[in-house]
Structures are given as structure tokens and as C-alpha cells.
Amino acid sequence: MSAQIIDGVALSARLRAELKQRAVTLSARGRQPGLGVILVGDNPASRVYVRNKLKACADAGIHAELVEFPATIAESAVLASIRALNADPSIHGILVQLPLPSQVAETKVLETIAVEKDVDGFHVQNIGSLVVGKPAFAPCTPAGCMAMLDHIGVPIEGKEVMPGERRPWPCSPWQPAQNAPKMVGPSAVNSRSPKRVTRTRSRGRYVPGTS
């Protein structure tokens, strides 16, 4: 089977146009979608991610609020900001840009976000809902990958999947989030050298190789 290039740029443009129209419709009804973004510290990559998210919101007609904190901020202040966004009726989704400084507990922060506003899909309740097949926000990485495969009409039933991520997100909810119960796996691989990862024939599992 020959390789196929997926035009993610074209798919993104189509989806953004659809989202913009939905946002326009909601705004006309007096319900402009609102996103709250929290950024802690000066991580250069995080700033790029946040800048792109804010631009995407502006292009789609979504109201966005950025809350910034220095890297030395106390955990309590971050949690208080999340609770304020939870209570704000003009904010319908909340994103906390990761990673966070060491004094701010990532798990506590993510679980403070209201489940119905957890658009990253990282709250333990949303992940649990995905695992048992209930509707929930899906983490964007697996959702985006599956959208691209669906865009080009690639069947996924019976396919093997190899998430290469040791954290509980974004890869672990891949299968239930996408309603693909007949996919093989997933099996996480934590090899520092991708060239040393070999495939075994048992249940599509991937393990670090020895050569």
C-alpha cells in the first residue's frame, strides 16, 4: 500500500469555516461562544500555542479571555482564577496551558475546571466518560488524528494503534474517544529511541527493541 499525504491544512480550513458559521449563528441569538485561557509562566512554546488559540478564536468569532500569571504564582491563585471562569456565564470553555510550574499541581488544576467547560478533555470525569463510551469532550490530539483519517476515508476497524506517550493524555483516550472498539491496542511505548521500537505479532503490541 502506497503512502498517502493527508491535506490537514485544507481540512482545518473547512472545519474552521463551519465553526465560524456556528459561532455567528449563536452570537445572533445572543450567545457568543466564550473561551477562557490560563497561561502560567513564560514557556516559549506555551506562548506560541496560546497565541495561535487566541487567533483561531478571533478568526471564528469566538470571544476569548486570556488570564496570565508569572511562573512564581501560588497554586491557590490559579485555582481561584479557574473557579471565577467556571462561574462566568460568558465563558463556555476553559483551557489551562500546560506545562505548569512545579509549585502548581497539574492534576488539581485540571480537576478544578468545571466538567462541562473542560474543552481539553483532561478532567478525570471526562476521561472516565470516554472510557465507558459516554459523550464527553475528547482530547484534541486523538480527535484531530481521527478526523484526518475520516476525511480521507481510511477504515480503522481492526487497525493497530501505537500511542507513543507516557502521560495520561493526549493518547490514552484515543480508542474510546473515537468509538473505535475494534481497534487493536492501544499499547504505549516509552522508548527514547524510535529506531529501536519493534513490533510483536501478539495483539498488535509494540515494545522497545533490543537492537
Ranges of each domain in the chain: 33-119, 121-187
The pairing of strands 197-199 and 34-40 is unpaired
Choices 3.40.50.970, 3.40.50.10860, 3.30.420.130, 3.30.1300.10: CATH for 33-119: 3.40.50.10860
The pLDDT value recorded for residue 185 is: 47
Shortest CA distance to 100 belongs to which of 77, 128, 125, 129?
Answer: 77
Note whether 91 and 36 are within 8 A (CB). yes
Backbone angles phi, psi at 138, to 5 degrees: -95, 135
Q: What does the alpha-carbon distance between residue 10 and residue 6 come to, in Å, rounded to a whole number?
A: 9
Q: What percent of the chain has pLDDT over 90?
A: 55
pLDDT attached to residue 169: 52
Q: What dihedral angle (degrees, nearest 10) is formed by the CA atoms of 107, 110, 115, 118? A: -140
Give CA separation, 120 vs 89, 138, 154, 160, in Å.
Answer: 19, 7, 25, 25
Phi, psi of 190 (to 5 degrees): -120, 55
Contact (Cβ atoms closer than 8 angstroms) between residue 76 and residue 32: no
Instruction: Indicate if the pLDDT at residue 203 is higher than 50.
Output: no
Q: In the 8-state DSSP scheme, what is residue 139?
A: P
Are 44 and 73 contacting, i.e. CB atoms less than 8 angstroms apart? Answer: no
List active site positions: 53, 97, 120
Q: How many helices (H) and strands (E) does the chain have?
A: 7, 5
pLDDT tens digits, one per residue of 54-113? 999 999 999 999 999 999 999 999 999 999 999 999 999 999 999 999 999 999 999 999
Better-scored residue on pLDDT, 134 or 36: 36
Q: Average pLDDT, stretch 186-207? A: 43
